[in-house]
Amino acid sequence: MSNITESHKRVELRGIGVSPGVATGLVFLMTTEEERFVERDIEENEVAREIARFEEALIATRRQLREIQQQVNAEIGKESANIFEAHLLVVDDRALVEEVIRGLSVHKKNVETVLRIVADRYAQALLRVEDDYLRERAADVRDVTRRILRNLSGVSSSGLANLATPCILVANDLAPSEAATMNKKNILAFVTDLGSPTSHTAIMARAMNVPAIVGLHDVSIRVSRGDPVLIDGSKGVLIIHPTEEDLESYGKLEASRKLIRTGFDLLREEAAETIDGYHVLLSANIELAEDVEKVIESGASGVGLFRSEYLFLSQKNHLPTEDEQVAAYERLARRLAPEHAVIRTLDLGGDKFLSQVKMPQEMNPFMGWRAIRFCLAQPDIFKTQLRAILRASHLGNVKIMYPMISSLDEVLKANLLLDECKDELRSQRIPFDEDIDVGIMIEVPSAALTVHLLAPHVDFFSLGTNDLVQYTLAVDRVNERIAYLYQPTHPAIVRLIQNTIDVGHRHGIWTGVCGEMGGNPLMVPLLIGLGVDELSVSASLVPMVKDMIRKLRYSQAEELANTVIALESADEITRHCRALVERVNPEILELLT
């Protein structure tokens, strides 16, 4: 690296460190299909060639849509397959096609540029009409346009699945669907323009135990593929073309941190218990069944959150069948036994979409048709998953959890479908756990305020603090411009957490925290003091959280909770949390992002 670094100017950038560690390597620059296209002037004699390219792309797009339609028809049903008729109508719309062809002569631009001009005009016109059906066609125009553009460029994917050499991934943003299909073995670190500590890029980086920085604004246009970079995920520092001095200095820093983390390895078989005997169930969050080995290596007690949607997102051509899901859930449960495995039902929508299922284009998808709302509206998909989870539950350590519950009605409807699945399995004499625990995620303020109504119908609560903070404080958790407003220690959040735990205990049910708040050692004493029964965190954070618990007295945590519940600001509460950690475990502060 030294020969390269000496011939280029060193640039240091600062963003939000979201996953600790130091990494050096060469940039793999991920760009979207739209970013790859350059507006280009053409001569009159090039128009015919551009028309030919356009026609070839239309033919390829039509063929792909027919293939997808046939797959969906075979795997989901005719009704879902009919969705693609609207896409095919766009491809065969002669008015649109002829306008693009005319535009080539008028604008004297390459076909990609003209297609985007024409398609944008069509989509905007559709959005202005009164008819709901026609307005929805705007999304079809945009979807088909993206597919045509990919075919014009010969691009079929971001290339993340085929990463052949170790690299540092740099992107504007990283969608969960892209993360699910990447070759994770060769990712040394993540760096993105957008994001916050609770964005999916950050969560993925922590799960993979690789350094990551988000919120760098324009890093994706300041680096080129192959540039050498150094990142410190703890401090949020990125250095482009680092010097030999940088490499030596950060190497020593990482060695010091590694020495601290080495001490955590000795805790693998130890209990997550305070000095005065208060036991906390310390579990792990994972995305794929294959990640269970990381859970066992970390010393966690089971899985408190299995994000089952990644099983769906990792399938490119079809939804996983019931048998495929059973195999994945059983593999997870068998490897963990006798420890528990909490399987969260599909949490799609927001920024997680299936290419196999048509989902509406929404102004605010994080508050739209997602999670339990999607599942209740798609009972065939939902019941297939519920049956699969039930079939795996015969092993005795599987639990079900519904995401993004906002009302009692949703719980009752989900439980009704679950009962239907149980009846179907009984009639087929397929064994399952008749007493399987059913829990819900508390991540919407309406749920946190009505837990007394929800508690009689479930067996446990799990606080999804990422979304609970986002929805309570009206702060988009992936918007780096307002990241400073994302405050887990806001008095409103502390009170909602306390209320959920207290109500759960009054009804004889346990409450866990599966959001990122539970993996932050600064927050651990406060959560314990509030009475939380379980913490479920990224496997890579389990040793650090366990160390924090074992250096603490429950009496200190309880005193902290009693003190901060009366405070008026997030900053005051954070200061009290930090002060306690400085007293009982100052070494751990070196590792915090």
Residues carrying an active site annotation: 200, 514
Helix (H, G, I), strand (E, B) or coil at 140: helix
Query: What letter does residue 434 receive in the DSSP assignment?
Result: T
Rounded Cα–Cα distance for residues 291 and 311 (Å): 12
Query: What letter does residue 402 receive in the DSSP assignment?
Result: E
Sign of CA dihedral 180, 184, 187, 189: positive
Alpha-carbon 374 to chain mean position: 17
Whether residue 338 is preceded by a cis peptide bond, meaning omega within 30 degrees of 0, is yes
According to DSSP, the residues that pair with 508 across neighbouring strands are none
**Is 380:76 a contact under the CB 8 Å cutoff?**
yes
Rounded Cα–Cα distance for residues 241 and 12 (Å): 9
Alpha-carbon 54 to chain mean position: 36
Tell me the one-letter amino acid at 441: M
Cα–Cα distances (Å) from 239 to 25, 129, 228, 350, 530, in that order, read: 11, 50, 9, 32, 41
Rounded Cα–Cα distance for residues 444 and 465 (Å): 9
**Is 454:411 a contact under the CB 8 Å cutoff?**
yes
**Is 104:114 a contact under the CB 8 Å cutoff?**
yes
Largest CA distance in the chain: 83
User: What's the token pair of residue 422?
Assistant: 């149980």
Alpha-carbon 129 to chain mean position: 35
Residue 198's closest CA among 545, 586, 548, 537?
Answer: 537
According to DSSP, the residues that pair with 189 across neighbouring strands are 168
Rounded Cα–Cα distance for residues 151 and 139 (Å): 19
Helix (H, G, I), strand (E, B) or coil at 173: coil
According to DSSP, the residues that pair with 232 across neighbouring strands are 22, 237
Rounded to 5°, the CA angle 408-411-417 comes to 145
**Is 303:288 a contact under the CB 8 Å cutoff?**
no
H or E element in which residue 33 lies = helix 33-36
The strand order across the sheet containing 237-240 reads 11-14, 237-240, 228-232, 22-30, 167-171, 187-192, 212-214, 16-19
Rounded Cα–Cα distance for residues 507 and 459 (Å): 9
Rounded Cα–Cα distance for residues 69 and 319 (Å): 13
Rounded Cα–Cα distance for residues 33 and 11 (Å): 28
CB-neighbour burial class of residue 255 (10 A; exposed 0-12, middle 13-18, buried 19+): exposed
Rounded Cα–Cα distance for residues 335 and 294 (Å): 11
